[in-house]
């Protein structure tokens, strides 16, 4: 992670340089185990740091991607500085069948990472 300076020189002036910031995706999770009463709504979060901006998504136990529906709402909110964001997953009307592992995933051209949250 950090800033890199690339200098191209072929012996013919001028040399050309380019500065590039590289931050492979990193996740942090405040609560990895969450208990929810039946019929409540719950929102879980993953904090993401990545540059270039990462593609963020949620999966369930079987690695099936979660999409917005009557049951789920997903969102990724950019914060300051621009390489940080918060991934949120809201589960509506929690039932016993909603218990299990949820995974937040962040991918960019520099790498990929994921984090697990267990809900019971």
Q: What is the mean pLDDT of residues 55-76?
A: 95
Q: Provide the pLDDT for residue 66.
A: 97
Residues 27 and 23: their CA atoms lie apart, in Å, by 12
For the chain, list the domains and their CATH numbers.
Answer: 24-119 (2.60.40.10)
Instruction: Enumerate residues 6+ apart whose C-beta is below 8 A from 97.
Output: none
Tokens standing for residue 80: 């300051």
Torsional sign, CA 92, 93, 94, 98: negative
The yes-or-no verdict on residue 5 having pLDDT over 80 is: yes
- The CA distances from residue 110 to 19, 26, 59, in Å, are 16, 11, 21
Comparing 75 with 63, which gets the higher pLDDT?
Answer: 75
Q: What is the mean pLDDT of residues 55-81?
A: 94
Under the banding of pLDDT at 50, 70 and 90, the label for residue 20 is confident
Question: Residue 56 class from Cβ within 10 Å (0-12 exposed, 13-18 middle, 19+ buried)?
Answer: buried
Residues 118 and 120: their CA atoms lie apart, in Å, by 7
Average model confidence (pLDDT) across the chain: 93
Q: What percent of the chain has pLDDT over 70?
A: 100
Q: Provide the pLDDT for residue 25.
A: 92
Q: Provide the pLDDT for residue 22.
A: 77
Count Cβ atoms below 10 Å from residue 46 Cβ, excluding itself. 26
Under the banding of pLDDT at 50, 70 and 90, the label for residue 52 is confident
Under the banding of pLDDT at 50, 70 and 90, the label for residue 10 is very high
């Amino acid at each position: 992670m950090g800033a890199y300076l690339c200098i191209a020189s072929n012996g013919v002036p001028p040399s050309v340089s380019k500065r590039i910031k590289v931050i492979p995706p990193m996740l942090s999770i405040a609560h990895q185990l969450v208990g929810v009463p039946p019929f409540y709504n719950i929102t879980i979060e993953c904090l993401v740091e990545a540059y270039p901006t990462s593609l963020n998504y949620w999966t369930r136990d079987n690695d099936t991607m979660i999409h917005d529906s009557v049951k789920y709402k997903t969102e990724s909110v950019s914060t300051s500085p621009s390489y940080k964001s918060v991934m949120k997953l809201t589960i509506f009307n929690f039932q016993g069948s909603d218990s299990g592992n949820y995974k937040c995933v962040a991918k960019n051209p520099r790498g990929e990472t994921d984090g697990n949250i267990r809900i019971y």
